[in-house]
A = this chain, B = another copy of it.
């Protein structure tokens, strides 16, 4: 049964997966408002996706709705929390205690997503040995020891681009199996380690490009 659910989870397409947290957020809001059921039409009106797309997305999660009434809010919420891993807390480390790293260290929102940031690492003696947002910053030389001791598999990489690769290597050595990379460069890792890119430059490119078009269209009107 559990291996069965694993294999079905495996084939959730990434675009769908990226929308699931939005459904979850809406569902938990509705739940706290006391809603018992919710239909795709209602979700569609609020989130702006088509009802068909929502139905298809939810089908991937294995959720089952009922004609006329829609989906049970509580049940759907549990299913989403399970798939998104919000129920079982996962420990993570931050490497690079610059502005972004420290901000992520203090970002309360992660708790809701089942992510527990244990500590951060840096080379700067101005940072190491101190607490930020109640969490310790250690020297990078301690990374391997602490990661292995606590069996931590997730690392958040927030060093400058120039140091991204060598830092990633250290993380791999320390047994990290998933790297959330905030540096805008590609990093090479062994096959059994996965990298998730978070590229603010890419998002900004989309934004500024759309804005360019918007203003150039308005000029021509």
Contact = CB atoms under 8 A, between A and B. Distances in A.
Given A199-B21, A204-B113, A208-B84, A213 B10 contact: yes
Contact of A18 (B114, B133, B205): B205
A209 B99 contact: no
Contact of A14 (B185, B206, B218): B206
A28 B115 CA distance: 35
A6 B109 contact: no
Contact of A196 (B198, B206, B213): B206
Q: How many copies of this chain?
A: 2
Interface stretch (A64-72, A139-147, A176-184): A176-184
Contact of A207 (B196, B216, B218): B196
A107 B113 contact: no
Interface in A85-101: 85, 90, 99-100
B103 A205 contact: no
B177 A194 contact: no
Interface in A191-221: 192, 194, 196, 198-216, 218, 220
Given A9-B212, A211-B154, A22 B186 contact: yes
Given A177-B214, A212-B85, A22 B199 contact: yes
A48 interface: yes
A168 interface: no
A128 interface: no
A180 B204 contact: yes
A1 interface: no
A194 B211 contact: yes
Contact of A185 (B17, B25, B84, B196): B25
16 contacts: A9-B209, A9-B212, A12-B209, A19-B202, A21-B184, A90-B208, A99-B102, A99-B133, A102-B103, A103-B104, A113-B205, A154-B207, A178-B207, A192-B218, A194-B211, A196-B203
